[in-house]
A and B are shown apart, each in its own frame.
Chain A
Amino acid sequence: MNEPANGSKIKDKNESTVGRGSKETRRLFLQGNEAIAEGAVAAGARFYAGYPITPSSEIAEVCSEKLLEAGGVYIQMEDELGSIAAVIGASLTGVKAFTATSGPGFSLMQENLGVAILGEVPCVVVNVQRSGPSTGLATRPAQADVMQARWGRHGDQHLIVLSPATVQECFELTVTAFNLAERFRVPVVLLADEIVAHMRENVALPDPAQIKIVNRKKPTCPPEEYLPFKPDPDGVPPLADFGSAYVFHVTSSMHGERGYSQNDPANAQAKIRRLFTKLENHLDEILLVKHHYNREEELDLLIVAFGCTVRPARAAALRAFGRKVGVLQLITLWPFPDALVAQAAARARALLVPELNMGQVGREVERVVGKAKPVFGLPKSNGEGFTPGEISARIEEVFACLG
């Protein structure tokens, strides 16, 4: 699967089959952040803990109203360390829980995100990326937290990172993020950016009954036999709720299947390996990309883009008269969609990776196809988004270079 299907079906805006007059579908003019909050409620989230930070605060503001109206909990914590901690605590009671933040707050959450990874606690963290490092060009757009999302914590671990490019995707991928978190007992980062989060577009919010919702696997064994970290054949252990008949421990220390701390090296190695394999063995359920071109065609140039860069990249591709230029949109950034990028690259002469950072995704693309195809970068880190013209100019340079 490389077109999004987990959660609600993602389609191009102009492909939408939803009629304007449809009774089930609500058509709204929403900001990306508002669409994320709507997506969370639609996904079944009923707990939000957060700390205000631009450009993500609208998510908190909407949740402070909508979650209460849905019978859920909104709590503003004293900082981001506490926010993600409260999210983890709430999730272990069986509630779908999430938080939203931006760069500096995301940095503060890293240590406890490690707890969610090792403790296998499903939760969603929205990071609306802004310019850095540090306070940086607050609060201008950037896409420079791609590596932080993947590698920001100490120790070996794996998680899922998704990136929306439109307001519609903000809604849909938030649902997908919760579904994947529940499916794999793993934190999922929705890596948005200031441009997508603050942009307003028409969105179609489907009838809630039509949205595919995934809930975590619960234990079915007798309570006294329950082992909270004993994986099923798919690598994912069932998760009970605190307060149910199943009594269990979750710890940030290395632990055995019972959840009590354990220092045995063989156990530790098996656990760390499973944190990887439970995702790597199910890439067909996790990896999402979109081909904004005819996949049957041979391309002169494949642009690999994500988030707010997809739109100017598509505009630039349309302007490349006489040359076949296509845009491959990466939705899943981590695990990196190696095979899907390689597959698309096989039918292109060269690749170009424009991104609002100094080359974080370009480096991954180079790792995957760099030996087979020339990979060109277009890094930008000045607090502004791309214009189509900038990408067009780089396309011309690339073709001049290729001859």
Chain B
Amino acid sequence: MPGLKTAWKEYLEESMLPHMWCPGCGNGIALGALTRALAELKLPRHKVVVVTGIGCWGKADDYLSTNALHGTHGRALAFATGVKAARPELTVVVLMGDGDGATIGGNHLIHAARRNIDLTAVVVNNYNYGMTGGQVSATTPAGAITSTTRYGNPERDFDLCRLVEAAGANYVARGTVYHVPQLDRLIRDGIAKKGFSFIEVVSPCPTHFGRRNRLGPAVQMMKLLKERAVHVGSAAAKGGELPEGSFFIGKLAERDDPDFNTSYEKMRKKALAKGTESS
């Protein structure tokens, strides 16, 4: 696509660089994918609101030149719901980590999906709470070592994509920061899709999760993403059971149910007709 090579920079707030993320963290790649998706959709900066929560990925708004609302831990989707319900014409992208978006904020996640409100949630899943020192989250695999599960995680993890699909989202996808061109596409398609879109981005946290679980340095963790990701629709995916530790990537679910604002507008039209009659 001509021009795209530089257009993404328009969405980046370069004066705030260098970013605060650790060497080997996948957040920079996810940020790049987001800016490329915005550029490809040619969305004017002033019509985009990026809403973030608290956590490493939740700091991403500091590096963006769009409108932004950085709220509280777990509540980003609720802030974003207010923006979108009040101004349906805006493009609202919500950036959260697995702790923020799926653990403390799990209730807002299922309700945003149930409402099918036209938001795009980009959840970077690094399997632990990076910012606070690598504690266990709702996506930490059973048995994994974190700073608060020294003998292994006794709890099971969420499959976020299946959760969000079951809750009613119109678009559900998973990518990784290794599979970058695909990630660009998934985020782009999620933003373009009407209704609630959910993109899980599997990403390494070499500082905490990788170190504690002896997954090797950042490069080794990237290789793991390559090895463990199974493209949905591939021959391997059709073969049946996934090997232990592997996961599907690609578009996992899509439907065309009416989004919140469209359904809301129908009710409001009825109310407006009554409001006009009585005045």
Give the residues from 54 to 76 in chain B that come closer than 8 angstroms, CB to CB, to chain A: 54, 59, 61-62, 65-72, 74-75
Q: Which of A83, A95, A242 meets B90, CB within 8 Å?
A: A242
Tell me if B262 counts as interface (CB < 8 A to partner A).
no
**B271 interface neighbour in A65, A77, A87, A247, Cβ under 8 Å:** A65
- For chain A, give the interface size range: 35 or more
CA distance A92 to B51 in the complex (A): 12
* A77-B86 in contact (CB<8A): no
Residue in B13, B65, B72, B81 whose CB lies within 8 Å of A86 = B81
Interface of B is mostly: helix
Establish whether residues A69 and B272, one from each chain, have CB atoms under 8 Å apart when the complex forms. yes
Q: Among A82, A95, A246, A251, which residue has its beta carbon within 8 angstroms of that of B75?
A: A82
Q: Is the CB of A93 within 8 A of B46?
A: no
Q: Which of A49, A73, A85, A260: most chain B Cβ within 10 A?
A: A85
Contact A260 B62 (CB under 8 A): yes
- Encode A95-118 as 1/0 by CB contact (under 8 A) with B: 101000000000000011001000
Smallest Cβ-Cβ distance to A112: which chain B residue: B72
Residue contact B86 to A71, C-beta cutoff 8 Å: no
Interchain nearest-CB distance for B231 vs A (Å): 35
Residues of chain B within 8 A (CB-CB) of A88 are 69, 71, 79, 82
Complex CA gap A303/B247 in Å reads 70
Among candidates A69, A95, A115, A248, residue contacting B72 with C-beta atoms closer than 8 Å: A115
A397 to B66, CA, bound (A): 65
- In the assembled complex, which residues on chain B have CB atoms less than 8 Å from the CB atom of A138? none
Q: Kindly report which residue of chain A lies nearest to residue B110, judged by CB atoms.
A: A78
With contacts A85-B78, A89-B51 known, is A252 near B86, CB below 8 A? no
Is A77 a contact of B81 with CB atoms below 8 Å? yes
A245 contacts B46, C-beta separation under 8 Å: yes
B66 partner residues in chain A, CB cutoff 8 A: 247
User: Residues of B contacting A90 with CB < 8 Å?
Assistant: 82-83, 85-86
A171 interface residue, CB < 8 Å from B? no
- Within 8 Å by CB of A260, from B13, B72, B111, lies B13
Report the separation of the CA atoms of residues A249 and B66 in the bound assembly, to the nearest whole angstrom.
Answer: 8
Question: What 0/1 pattern do residues 213 to 224 of B give for CB contact below 8 A with A?
Answer: 000000000000
